[in-house]
Amino acid sequence: FLVKKYCDEGWLSSMFAHKVDARKDAHSNLLSKKETSNLYKIQFHNVKPECMEAYNKMSDEVQKELHRDASYPCEVIGSWNNWYGEQDQAVHLWRYSGGYPALTECLRKLNRNTAYLAFRKERSKMLISRRNQLLLEFSFWNEPASRSGPNIYELRTYQLVPGTMIEWGNHWARAIKYRQENNEAVGGFFTQIGELYVVHHLWAYKDLQSREETRNAAWLKEGWDANVHYTMPLIQKMESRIMIPMEHSPLQ
């Protein structure tokens, strides 16, 4: 009986070994970077299959024009076409330097830009559907920066149980060190507007074989298995996209 009681207590204590501090602030304030006021937007565009080539070309031209005009407080971090996952889909990641005021200023200027309005009208003919989310970046993740290629990118998306974002952040703040060896970590984000309690982790790999080897190597590091063990119960749904950079994407 004593042995059984001891084993049960040990099992119970392991269940509650990792405690999360009580909430004293919104998780957006506790988890995001304090030294920057960057806001991110991710766009998912489902494109008519016969229009993908024209869509990519038009997106390239418009993004280049926006980048030439320094008065727009926004920049494209990366643009991709899905390779595996949902097909005929384009994904764009934007950064607004200055947070919500920068987003508002950018939208105001774009709504007065006749060339951009014409682009949107023409683009609408190529799309089946589209959606977007506003994101903040986790404080413990790398700042997304341009990189040379060729690379493939994996966007892993997690729909968390509501109320568990702080716990997720606590675990990944320790675990991210296990995924830096091959410079694969690009950026980590969580939603502010759109679908809530959604996390996006963006990774870069040389190819699919490199992805497999890098992910397998993480399991050899003490502590990675614990992160997986404690974060899996926080997930309601997860998805992986393998993406190929568009020609004009800063992330190649």
pLDDT tens by residue, the chain, 252 residues:
444 443 444 443 444 444 445 556 567 666 776 656 799 999 999 999 999 999 999 999 999 988 889 899 999 999 999 999 999 999 999 999 999 999 999 999 999 999 999 999 999 999 999 999 999 999 999 889 999 989 999 999 999 999 999 999 999 999 999 998 889 999 999 999 999 999 999 999 999 999 999 999 999 998 899 999 999 999 999 999 999 999 999 999
The pTM for the full model equals: 0.87
Alpha helices in the chain (DSSP H): 2-15, 27-31, 52-68, 99-110, 114-124, 165-175, 208-218, 224-231
pLDDT value at residue 108: 95
The pairing of strands 185-193 and 198-205 is antiparallel
- How far is 89 from 129, CA to CA, in rounded Å? 10
- How far is 72 from 251, CA to CA, in rounded Å? 20
pLDDT value at residue 28: 64
